[in-house]
Amino acid sequence: MFALPLSFQALIRIRDPMPRLSTLSVYRNAVALLAALVWPGAAALAQSDADFLAAKAAFERADRGRLHALAPKLSDHVLAPYVAYWQLKLSLDEATHDSVRAYVSIYPGAPFAERLRGDWLKMLAKRGDWNGFAREYSPAPGEDTELACYGIQYRRQRDGASELGAARALWFTGQATPEACEPLFAELQSRGDLTVADRRARLRLASEAGNVRLAQTIASELPTRDRITEREFREIIRDPQRAMAKGEFAWATAGGRELALFALERAARANAATARLAWVNWRDKLPPADRSYGSARLGFHAARQLHPSANDWYREAGEVTLPAEAHAWRARAALRATAWDDVLAAIDAMPETLRQDADWRYWRARSLAANGKLDDAKAIYVVLASETSFYGMLAAEALGRPFAIPKSLPLEPSAMELAAFGARSDVKRAVKLAQLDLRLESQREWFHVVRTLPDEALLLAADYARRAGLYDRSINTADRTIARHDFALRYLTPFRDEFDAAARDHDVDIAFLYAIARQESRFVRDIVSSAGASGLMQLMPATARWVAKQLGRSDYAPAQIANVDINTQFGAYYFKHWYERLDRMPALAAAAYNAGPGRAQAWRPLLPIEGAVWVETIPFNETRDYVKKVLANSMVYAHALSAPQQTLTARLGVVAPRAVVTAAPASVN
C-alpha cells in the first residue's frame, strides 16, 4: 500500500492558500514585512533552505531514500509542497487515486499540482485504467499533446469514432508527436480519414521545420510507388545543391516530386540564389500546385536572406496557401523592395489573426497612404496610436502627434494590503523560489498568482514585487493591466545611481541603457542566460573581457560581472562602441548588441532604406522583436527621465548600405 509522504501528511491539514489574518495581526506584521522586502541574494542560506536544495538534488537524481530522509526536516518550510510533489512524483507508480487527488485539491491550479495531475493521468492512460482516467480528466486549454491524445483515446472508447476528428487536427505539424497519438493516427488512416495527400502535407511541414527524421519516417510509410528511401534522403542532405543541379528525380511519381521539393527546401535554406539557378531548369516538370509551392518556399528563404529579388520570386508563386511565417515574409520582401501594392496584397492575404497584429496594421496603413487612400490610412493610425508600442508610436507620429506616455492611474496600496498579499502561501513560494535562484519555478508560481487578477489587484501585486526586488515580476505584472495602468511600474528605473554614472561616463543616453536593461534582464542583476550572458546588461564573458581591456581595467575578474556598477559600465561602453561605428543609429546598435555586429552589418541593404523597413526585415525573430522593444522602451524612458527628446521616426532614420567596421567580440546574448 502506498503511504503518503511525510511532508504531505502535514500539508493535507492546510487547505487555505491565503491564511485568514485578523486586521490587527495584519497591521502588526505590515511594517516588519515591508522592511524585509529587500533582495536577499547576499544573505547566507538558512539551513532549511540548504536542506530544500539538497532535497531538490535528490529528486533530480531519483534518490528516493535521501529525499524521504530530508522530508521531515522540511515539513514547515514554505516550499514543503514541492518536497511532497517530488516524493509523489518519484512514487507515482505506487500512488493511489486518493493520495493524488488529495494533493491536487490542496493547491488547485498550482503549477506543481497541475504537473502531478498531468503525470498521473498519463500513467493511468498507459495502464489502460480508463475508469480512473475518467474520474480525474477534464480537457483544459493549453494541455500538452500527449495528454490531449490520451483524452481523445478515452472519448473514442466512450463515444465512438466521431471523436477522432480532434486527433486529425494534431496530425498537421512539422514536429514529432507523442506515442499516445499514434493509435489515433493509425485508425484515421485505416478509415481513410488521413489520406496519402495528408501524409504528403505533413512531409512538407516536417521539411519546412528542418525535421529530417520525421520527414524520413513519413516518406517511408507512403504507398510503395511514392515511397522515398533513406538513401535518397541521405544523398540530398549530403549535397542538396548538387541534387538540384542534376535534377534526376522520378518526375512521374508523387514521391519523386516530393523528393525534388525536399531538395529545393534544403538547398534554398542554405542559399536561395544558387537554388534558384537549378530550380528554373526543372520547375516546369512539376504540376502547377507543386510549382507554386516551390516558388513560395524559394521566395520565403530568399526574403529571409534579404535577397533583392525575393519579392519577384514570391510573385511567381501566385495564389498559394502559406503558413503564417511565410505570409509575413512575403510582406517583408515587398517592403524591402518598396513595392507598396505587393505589401498591401500580402497583408490582405494573411489570416485574420496575423493581419490584426500591430505590425501589419501599421504597414497596411502605410500601403494605403502610398496608394493615395489617406483617409483609410488615417483610420488605422488613429486606433493604433493609442497603443504604447513600437508601431503605436510610429502611427502617432504619422498623425503628427508627438509620443507621450499615457496617463497613469497608480495604486497606492496600504501596508496592510501589501502584507495581506505577501502572506499568501503562493506568493511566499514565488518569493522564496526567487531567493533560491529557482527562477523558472518562481515565474510559474507568480503567473499562477496573477493570471486572473483584475487591474487593481495586478497593480498591488506589481508594487509588492517591486518592493521585494522582483523587478521582472513587477514589470510583467504591471504590463498585464487592461484599463488602469501604472507606467512607472511598467518601466521601472532601479539602480539609478549606477545607470546615471554609466551614462555620464560613456556619454550615452540613459534612456537607451534603461531600455536595453529592461529588455535584456528585466533588471534581475544576477541572471545568467542559457548562452552565458550575465547581469543587467547581459554581457557575454568574452565581451566583458574585451571591454575590460579597452577600459584598462586590469583588476577585472569574471566573478565581478554581476556587480551592477561594473555591468552597467561595461554595457554602456559596448553599446556606445557600436553606436559610433554603426552610423550612430540606435536600431543598428541595438541589433549589434543582441545578435552581434557582424550580423547587423550583413543585414544592411545594398541601397538606402527607411529605418522602420530595415527593422521589420531583420531575419532573426528574436532580434527583430528585441530592436522594436528597445527603441520603444527608449522613447518611454526618455519621457520619464526627461532625457533628450527625438521622434522614433528620426531615431530610425535611413539605413545606409553596409560598410567595413573594426571587429570586436560578437555580442552579448
Q: Rounded mean pLDDT of 187-193?
A: 95
Tell me what the mean pLDDT of segment 329-357 comes to: 97
Q: What is the pLDDT of residue 666?
A: 55
How many domains does the chain divide into?
A: 1
Residue 106 pLDDT greater than 90, yes or no: yes
pLDDT, tens digit (0-9, with 9 covering 90-100), for 165-184: 999 999 999 999 999 999 99
d(CA 343, CA 331): 5
Alpha-carbon separation of residue 475 from 492, 568, 663 (angstroms):
7, 20, 35
Quick one: pLDDT at residue 348? 97
pLDDT band at 141 (very low <50, low <70, confident <90, very high): confident
Query: Residue 661 — pLDDT band, cuts 50, 70, 90?
Result: very low
Predicted confidence (pLDDT) at residue 38 exceeds the cutoff of 90? no
pLDDT higher than 50, residue 15: no
For residue 254, being part of any structural domain is answered with no
DSSP states of 617-638: T-S-HHHHHHHHHHHHHHHHHH
- The confidence score (pLDDT) of residue 643 equals 81
Alpha helices in 493-562 (DSSP H): 496-506, 510-520, 541-550
CB 603 within 8 A of CB 469: no
For 525, the grid coordinates are: 542583476
**DSSP letter string over 265-302?**
HHHHHH-HHHHHHHHHHHGGGS-HHHHHHHHHHHHHHH
Q: What is the pLDDT of residues 361-382, one digit of tens each?
A: 999 999 999 999 999 999 999 9
Report the phi/psi class of residue 529: left, alpha or beta, with left for phi > 0 and alpha for psi in -120 to 50.
Answer: beta
Residue 11 has pLDDT above 80, yes or no: no
Q: Which has the closest alpha carbon to 575: 632, 633, 511, 531? A: 511
- Give the pLDDT score at 13: 41
Instruction: Give a yes or no: residue 333 inside a domain.
Output: no
Is 272 within a domain? no
Q: Over 50: is that where the pLDDT of 117 sits?
A: yes
Q: How far apart are CA 228 and CA 245, in angstroms?
A: 19
User: In which element (H, E) is residue 528 found?
Assistant: none
Of 305, 256, 440, nearest in space to 314 by CA: 305
pLDDT value at residue 110: 93
Confidence at residue 405, expressed as pLDDT on a 0 to 100 scale:
86
To which residue does cell 499514434 refer? 182
Write down the pTM of the prediction.
0.90
Q: Which band of pLDDT confidence, cut at 50, 70 and 90, is reported for residue 445?
A: very high
Partner residues linked to 609 by β-bridges: 655
pLDDT of residue 56: 98
**Mean of the pLDDT values across residues 319-341?**
95
Q: What is the pLDDT of residues 268-293, one digit of tens each?
A: 999 999 999 999 999 999 999 999 99
**295, 283 contact by CB (below 8 A):** yes
Q: What is the mean predicted confidence (pLDDT) over 173-198?
A: 96
Give backbone dihedrals phi and psi of 107, rounded to 5 degrees, phi first: -125, 65
Contacts 24+ apart (CB under 8 A), 476-480: 476/522, 477/446, 477/450, 480/450, 480/453
Is residue 637 assigned to a domain? yes
Residues annotated as catalytic are 520
Identify the pLDDT of residue 667: 53
Q: Does a structural domain hold residue 178? A: no
Confidence category of residue 35, pLDDT binned at 50, 70, 90: very low
Give the residue from 267, 336, 306, 338 showing the smallest Cα distance to 599: 306
In a domain, 553, yes or no: yes
Q: Are 49 and 436 in contact (CB under 8 A)?
A: yes
**Residue 450 located in a structural domain:** no
pLDDT at 375: 98
pLDDT at 662 over 80: no
pLDDT at 5: 54
Q: Rounded CA gap, 84 and 75, in Å?
A: 9
pLDDT surpasses 60 at 1: no
Report residue 193: phi and psi, to 5°: -90, -10
The tens digit of pLDDT for each residue in 563-601 reads: 999 999 999 999 999 999 999 999 999 999 999 999 999
Task: Tell me the CATH number at 633.
Answer: 1.10.530.10
Q: What is the largest CA-CA distance in the chain?
A: 84
* Residue at 366 is within a domain: no
Q: Which residue in 246, 290, 329, 196 sits closest to 619, CA to CA? A: 329
Rounded CA-CA distance 48/39 in Å is 19
Instruction: Give the helix ranges, DSSP H, for 128-174.
Output: 130-136, 145-159, 165-171
Domain of 619, in residue numbers: 496-655
Average pLDDT over the chain reads 91
Q: If we measure between CA atoms, which residue out of 592, 601, 585 comes closest to residue 634?
A: 585
Determine the average pLDDT of the residues in 334-350: 97
User: Is residue 406 predicted with pLDDT exceeding 90?
Assistant: no
Residue 669 confidence (pLDDT): 58
Q: At what angle do helices 288-304 and 272-282 cross, to 10 degrees?
A: 160
Q: How confident is the model at residue 190 (pLDDT cuts 50, 70, 90)?
A: very high
| pLDDT category of residue 45 using cuts at 50, 70 and 90 | low
